[in-house]
Structure 1
């Protein structure tokens, strides 16, 4: 039985190659003289990289605490529904664009995981698609100007792209009035020499346009030129067919505090910037390009939603107590922003394990028997049913993850 109900939490850093060098180290207040990429900071109980809880008995794994003391940490209702802490909370710094990807539904993830288990594909194999039986819906809230690809453009917009890009004109009849599946299958199964022949002149042209300053980040050519502009054409090798997706998908621009939810089957990729990301506690990613990792085209296409969408950029719903909620249509997680000016307060009672991360400023959090001072770069875990009050000496911006 834990007397304290509020604890400092230490997350786990992921040094993926696409990460930036400054944002996360500066935010955490740590040295990066080794010039390592700091891509993600994980806060949660994912078994591959669980956070540690700073308790009077020392630093303990959150994953282990959730397993051993689930009644206190996540609550019996969450444990009955999920059997674990159902979310994973992250801070991301995207320097180079991430892979084109799709996440499966819960039913598809369960079937895919069990099929790979039966086939004897090792869990740590680079050819494995399904690492667990869970779905992976996710929401991101921008911490800076943030750019991403999200879903196919609507039929009229995509038809215009195919007409305006000379290399894509042979694809007009394949797409027709809006056959996203036929277009995607054609491009993803095209012979590599045909991909190279179609895309190489397009890429060369975009590089020239970007060098002249004729492109903006709202245009696909800018990102294609960023991808290929650093090296001469003889070093390109085979052109990545993910380039098609940069033209076919919506390019979404978000400002700090704006959010985008990504459900199962919606193809997407992060392009550039910093964000807070919250997702179901899963590592199931089906990739379709722009990555050195395993790409499984048939599996990707099997789970892609082939329809044009207008992206929903959420500004959040302001509640009392300085809290802004971003509604997400899933049971696994909820996210809110806590923005307080000097001497403002926020009162709440944790309905599940809550994780609050401070992005800017500092705050004091007073629970029923314990208070903590939490500053920029620090994280706090609040156990289920604990009532608490947040106050700030000079202003604070924080994000909270919870189970709704």
Structure 2
């Protein structure tokens, strides 16, 4: 077991306080800090501190995959199959979805044949992997995720009292299924500029009137989110498209799982995120980054869903587990008190991430202290590792290879 130093990623939507506070650094930070990556993705691998010096986790795994990954080496082609992150969103992320494994392989090969450089901002597929992902809230976490039931969306559009929306509401009411959602989404995301320039202000005025009304209002969060997105991305067709999605609020400890094809946009909050080891993103709007609407439409799943929060369930080892169908990863959370004593951890490969208090890992005569925001790499060669809180309560997450449910 060794200390793992995360790779800090700065994006415009990040926070100048959340990650800095979590890691005990001065606040505010010089730049918006969006993600802290703990993994072996080639784009930005974390680094392992060993007695011989500091080495990237990617190179460590490549040098001896059997030792570092154990049985997972043959199952996942000698690569660590998951990527663990801390995500801090101060502003909305892009409207996006991730491809299935087959779609990723096809897209990656197609862009390779077209000789699109891997680091090109026009690149959609940076690897051959799919990207199922789970985010667990450390603080209240807001998101848009999955297409809302068409009947509810029709009710929302009509509640805003915007005459220009009536034809779109009628379109969806006449076909309240995935085909109707596909038609409406495609229509909105590809609106000619002159039509969008007329429709979007009318919708925003409708949201303002709706929020000012004194009668019973059931779509307050949706109306406010539409106004917030329009302020952050004026004139963006993604503002309209986002109105078709479920508005989700996660309380601390609750999770949200997103499989291939689920359209989503994280809005704000701090959370632990784990995903298959991929950086494939198809964007449809709400971003200055590369947008590829035709490719997004190719991968989207328009089946309406009500995404329930993934609630932690007792795992029988002192932890709670966030159950998902992803074979690449599993995520457990431990909440320790000073009197808990030592708790055994799963064998590696795995990553331990401390999110509250101070903890120590113990293996034989070896001890590793982890403060809030710090992490450790547990190789498959490490066994019989135990954890305990130091000077009070501590919380940590343990990421490891998963199994299909």
TM-score by length of 1: 0.92
Answer whether contact 1:364 1:374 (CA < 8 A) is retained: yes
Task: State the distance in 2 between where 1:303 and 1:70 align.
Answer: 32
Deviation track 1:10-35 (CA, whole Å, cap 9, x = no partner) reads 00111101001111011111225553
Task: State the distance in 2 between where 1:230 and 1:181 align.
Answer: 25
Change beyond 3 A, Cα 1:347–1:309: same
Runs of 4+ in 1 over 3 A off after TM superposition: 32-35, 76-80, 204-218, 227-231, 345-352
Long gaps (5+) in structure 2: none
Answer whether contact 2:92 2:267 (CA < 8 A) is retained: yes
Task: State the distance in 2 between where 1:346 and 1:261 align.
Answer: 30
- State the match for 1:185 in structure 2: 186
In the TM superposition, residue 391 of structure 1 has moved relative to its aligned partner by 1.3
Task: State the distance in 2 between where 1:230 and 1:98 align.
Answer: 10
Q: Note if 1:135 corresponds to 2:130.
A: yes
Matches within 5 A, 1:299-310: 299-310=295-306
Change beyond 3 A, Cα 1:220–1:172: same
Task: State the distance in 2 between where 1:396 and 1:217 align.
Answer: 38
Change beyond 3 A, Cα 1:49–1:218: farther
- State the match for 1:318 in structure 2: 314
Task: State the distance in 1 between where 2:24 and 2:308 align.
Answer: 34
- State the match for 1:401 in structure 2: 399
My pick for the range that moved more, 41-50 or 315-324, is 315-324
Deviation track 1:166-205 (CA, whole Å, cap 9, x = no partner) reads 2321112322232111111111222121112111122245
Question: Which residue of the other structure, out of 155, 167, 170, is the alignment partner of 1:170?
Answer: 167
- State the match for 2:223 in structure 1: 221
Matches within 5 A, 1:76-155: 76-155=71-150
Deviation track 1:368-394 (CA, whole Å, cap 9, x = no partner) reads 342212111211111115121111131
My pick for the range that moved more, 307-316 or 204-213, is 204-213
- State the match for 1:388 in structure 2: 385
Answer whether contact 2:229 2:239 (CA < 8 A) is retained: no
Answer whether contact 1:92 1:276 (CA < 8 A) is retained: yes
Question: Which residue of the other structure, out of 354, 357, 374, is the alignment partner of 2:350?
Answer: 354
The alignment partner of 2:76 has SS state of helix
The alignment partner of 1:203 has SS state of helix
Matches within 5 A, 1:191-340: 191-206=192-207, 219-229=221-231, 236=234, 239-340=235-336
Task: State the distance in 1 between where 2:228 and 2:195 align.
Answer: 22
The alignment partner of 1:85 has SS state of coil
**What's the RMSD between the two structures over aligned residues?**
2.2
Change beyond 3 A, Cα 1:71–1:396: same
Change beyond 3 A, Cα 1:113–1:230: closer
